[in-house]
Amino acid sequence: MLLLDCGAEVDGPQCLLEPGSAVNAPRDACGQSPVHLAAQAGHPYFLLWQLQAGADLNQQDAFGEAPIHKAAKVGSLECLSLLVASDALIDLRNKNGQTAEDLAWSCGFLECAKFLTTVKHTQSMKLCEQSKHSFNTDKRGLLLKNKRAYRNADNSNGKKQRSDAGHLC
């Protein structure tokens, strides 16, 4: 038996295998889908199967928790790794304002908490590098646009300007 956050009990992974249920349809009164149940039970193979079937890995239940929150609360590093590798939103907050990292720390799953901290730091560094690159590209594009505007303003008499004319750039 698996005890859900809302107090309901489910018969383990076999409830995930019931035919005819939609992969993202809430399966219980708490709004938890099969992907929530797989993560909460710490079953990475069932979680992978659900994700391959098209499950929404960021779907939130009645508590605002996504599967990543469920995996963090039970200390399933395997499920967390799978969710992160599948691009789960690690900064998603539940209705109490907690991220999966917060839950891992508060539940005492230090390895999971450190993993999520490292992933968050790595993603932040990657975004920082991407923004530096895109800023430089925009800056060059803006400079080229200003250079063209300068040429057009300088050439107000209608004559074609020579390309070897004394330009500053």
- Write down the domain spans for the chain: 2-125
Backbone angles phi, psi at 151, to 5 degrees: -60, -45
pTM: 0.66
User: What are the pLDDT digits (tens) for 108-134?
Assistant: 999 999 999 999 999 888 888 877 766
Q: What is the overall mean pLDDT for the chain? A: 77
| Burial group, residue 5, by CB count within 10 angstroms (0-12, 13-18, 19+) | middle
For residue 159, the model assigns a pLDDT of 53
For residue 143, the model assigns a pLDDT of 45
Mean pLDDT calculated for residue range 1-10: 50
Of 1 and 79, more confident: 79
Q: What's the Rg (C-alpha) of the chain? A: 26
Confidence of residue 57 (pLDDT cuts 50, 70, 90): very high
pLDDT value at 103 more than 90: yes
Alpha carbon distances (Å) from 40 to 14, 79, 138, 166: 14, 9, 44, 69
- Domain 2-125, CATH number (from 1.10.760.10, 1.10.1060.10, 1.25.40.20, 1.10.10.10): 1.25.40.20
Confidence of residue 144 (pLDDT cuts 50, 70, 90): very low
User: What are the pLDDT digits (tens) for 6-47?
Assistant: 554 545 445 544 544 566 666 677 888 899 999 999 999 999
Of 70 and 145, more confident: 70
Pair 67, 73: CB distance under 8 Å? no
